[in-house]
Amino acid sequence: MEKINIGLVGFGTVGQALYQVINNSRNVHAEIKKVCVRSLEKPRSIEVPQGLLTTNVDEIVDDADINLVVEVIDQADAAFEIVSRAMRAGKNVVSGNKAMIAKHLTELLDIQKETGRALLYDASSCGSIPVIRNLEEYYDNDLLLEVKGILNGSSNYILSRVFDHGEDYADALARAQKLGFAESNPTQDICGFDSLNKLVIITLHAIGVYVAPADVFVYGIEHLTAADIQYAREKGMKIKLVAQVVKFGEETFTMFVMPEFVAPGRYIYSVDDEYNGVVIRGECYDRQFMFGKGAGGFPTASSLLSDIMALRHDYRYEYKKTAFSPRPEYVTDIALKIYARYSTTDLHTLLPWQSIDEEYRSASHRYVVGEILISDLYKARTALAADDVFLCNFPRFFAERDN
Nearer of residues 112 and 155 to ligand HSE, judged by Cβ: 155
Strand partners, 256: 217, 244
User: Pattern 240-279, binding to ligand HSE, x per CB under 6 A?
Assistant: ----------------------------------------
Choose one: 77-85, 149-157, 260-268, 380-388; the region binding ligand HSE (CB under 6 A): 149-157
272 to each of 187, 190, 211, 287, 292, how far by Cα in Å?
A: 20, 15, 29, 20, 10
CB neighbourhood size of 382 (10 A)? 7
Nearer of residues 126 and 391 to ligand HSE, judged by Cβ: 126
- Candidate residues 122, 136, 194, 222; the one interacting with ligand HSE per rule CB under 6 A: 194
CB 118 within 8 A of CB 316: yes
Q: Please report whether residue 294 would count as binding ligand HSE according to CB under 6 A.
A: yes
Q: Coil, helix or strand for 194? A: helix
Of residues 158 through 177, those in contact with ligand HSE by CB under 6 A are none
Catalytic position from the list 33, 34, 98, 198: 198
321 is catalytic: no
Contacts of 122 (CB under 8 A, 6+ apart): 130, 131, 132, 133, 303, 306, 307
To the nearest whole angstrom, how small is the minimum distance from the Cβ of residue 2 to ligand HSE? 30
Q: Please report whether residue 303 would count as binding ligand HSE according to CB under 6 A.
A: no
- Quote the distance between the C-alpha of residue 15 and its chain's center: 18
Q: Please report whether residue 183 would count as binding ligand HSE according to CB under 6 A.
A: yes
Q: Distance between CA 382 and CA 103 in Å, rounded?
A: 20
User: Pattern 115-144, binding to ligand HSE, x per CB under 6 A?
Assistant: ------------x-----------------
Q: Please report whether residue 208 would count as binding ligand HSE according to CB under 6 A.
A: no
CA atoms within 13 A on the CB side of 205: 28
Choose one: 65-73, 77-85, 181-189, 361-369; the region binding ligand HSE (CB under 6 A): 181-189
Which secondary-structure segment (H or E) carries 5?
Answer: strand 4-9
DSSP state letter for 53: E
Q: Please report whether residue 295 would count as binding ligand HSE according to CB under 6 A.
A: yes
Nearer of residues 117 and 148 to ligand HSE, judged by Cβ: 148
CB 298 within 8 A of CB 21: yes
Nearer of residues 186 and 328 to ligand HSE, judged by Cβ: 186
**Catalytic (active-site) positions:** 198
